Amino acid sequence: MKKRVITLGVAALGVAGAQAADGKLWEVSASLKGFYDDNYTTSPDDLAEESWGIEVSPGLSLSYGQGTDLEINAGYAYGLRWYNDRAGDDQDHGHELGLNLNKAFSESSRLILSESFVVAQEPEVLDPSLSFPLRTEGDNIRNTFEAGYAQDLTGNFGAEIGYSNSLFDYDEDYHSALLNRQYNSVDLAGTYNLDRLTKLRLGYKFASTDFDGSDLQVPGLDFLADARDSYSHFAYVGVSRYLDSQYEAQARAGVQYADYHNADLMAGIIPDDETSPYVDARLTWTYAESSTLVGGVTLMRGATDLQAADQETTAVYAQLTHRFTDLSPDLYGTLTGRFQNGEISGGGDKLDGKEEDLLLLGASLSYNITESIWAEISYNYDELDSDIPRRSFERNYVSFGIGARY
């Protein structure tokens, strides 16, 4: 039994699917939870604000053509969080909309399209790379469109092309000035099928980041958004490996060169260019029915909410989902973890080279009361350890509730 829940910040990894469960064409679901958050502003300890609250999350999932040459999955979820002890606006409203299309034109060619639109306040929902670790209030928007096409050529050779566009729009003035941006990338790769289960890749990716927030005036500095614009060039080698139905591994490793072509607007604050390693590796192990371990490591550059060019982020993550068949086939447990280190680039002597360590841990238990109703309890711990004064924080979040689907 698969359930649908909104990921308004309780999940450290976004690995949940959007399709309806059990081969259904459509599915409606809803959950009602109580929660306690001891630092909902992600502030230093002396400024932390705590609150009990209620979360309501209805959703709808649609699936078409599972197992055919045209598969379409769509999902929408709305989330309302009410905070009992929050001053001012005591409600958060979140929206998640996802659409995936997978079209096989033949055994040798395939097209994949995906669209993701979110309105949220938690950083792991707004920016899955978590280059921005702090929660921000308001109707903050991320929209991501991705397209990929793969074609087998002669012999064991093939080619792949991909395009991605992400738009970020923050509601609050300060974060709007520093984080509003548009990201575009084009990815080209040649492939070689080493055998039926192993594919090698040699690729190049070009990416542009265009910051379009308003200029930010702070004491002693006028921070110009356009000065952070960059062109990035990636060269990499990669491999994907499938071993029966249990294992799936994918990895890319190479180098990233970032050119800040407007650096002269803020000389001494924004560097002319940066060169850094690029790694993106992921392993999925389905070791039993409804039991999966997903883990990976990433190393790449990403946006920062500080007055600097960007940051180089190294992250290690894992998520374990286990079905306790020895206790009850209807009892499921999930453990999540993510640790990342970010090193700031640019920003002058006060920021350049400073580091931030972010730790996200989570655990949950869910029990299927009936085929259509489940109960769940979860706990999450977030900690940021920053070299920058007044940034470090700890956060504990507990939720408990029920859900239903039809």
Q: Which of 36, 144, 20, 132 is nearest to 82 (CA)?
A: 36
Structure tokens at 31: 């959950």
Long-range contacts of 291-297 (CB under 8 A, 24+ apart): 291/321, 291/322, 291/323, 292/320, 292/321, 293/318, 293/319, 293/320, 293/321, 294/13, 294/15, 294/318, 294/319, 294/320, 295/319
Q: CA 399, 405, 335, 312 torsion: positive or negative?
A: negative
Mean pLDDT of the chain: 91
Using CA atoms of 262, 268, 271, 272 in order, give the dihedral in degrees to the nearest 10: 60
The percentage of residues in the chain with a pLDDT greater than 70, rounded to a whole number, is: 93
Are residues 253 and 235 in contact, defined by beta-carbon separation less than 8 angstroms? no
Are residues 126 and 118 in contact, defined by beta-carbon separation less than 8 angstroms? yes
Read off the pTM: 0.91
Q: What is the pLDDT of residues 67-116, one digit of tens each?
A: 899 999 999 999 999 999 998 889 999 999 999 999 999 999 999 999 99
What stretch of H or E contains 182? strand 181-195
pLDDT of residue 15: 34
pLDDT of residue 22: 59
- What stretches of 128-180 adopt beta strand conformation (E)? 140-152, 157-169
Structure tokens at 36: 């306690």
What is the spatial distance between Cα 327 and Cα 140, in angstroms, rounded to a whole number?
42
Taking residues 359-372, report their average pLDDT.
95
Give the confidence band of 132 by pLDDT, cuts at 50, 70, 90.
confident
pLDDT of residue 79: 93
Are residues 90 and 84 in contact, defined by beta-carbon separation less than 8 angstroms? yes
What is the spatial distance between Cα 23 and Cα 30, in angstroms, rounded to a whole number?
19
What is the spatial distance between Cα 338 and Cα 302, in angstroms, rounded to a whole number?
17
Structure tokens at 244: 């029966």
Q: What is the pLDDT of residues 18-69, one digit of tens each?
A: 455 556 799 999 999 999 999 999 999 999 999 999 999 999 999 999 889 9
DSSP assignment of 28-90, as one string?
EEEEEEEEEES-TT---GGG---EEEEEEEEEEEEEE-TTSSEEEEEEEEEEEEEETT-SS--
Are residues 97 and 118 in contact, defined by beta-carbon separation less than 8 angstroms? yes
Are residues 30 and 59 in contact, defined by beta-carbon separation less than 8 angstroms? yes
**Protein fold of 21-405:** Porin (2.40.160)
pLDDT of residue 244: 76
Q: Which residue has the higher pLDDT, 87 or 14?
A: 87
pLDDT of residue 108: 92
What is the spatial distance between Cα 209 and Cα 259, in angstroms, rounded to a whole number?
10
Give the confidence band of 4 by pLDDT, cuts at 50, 70, 90.
very low
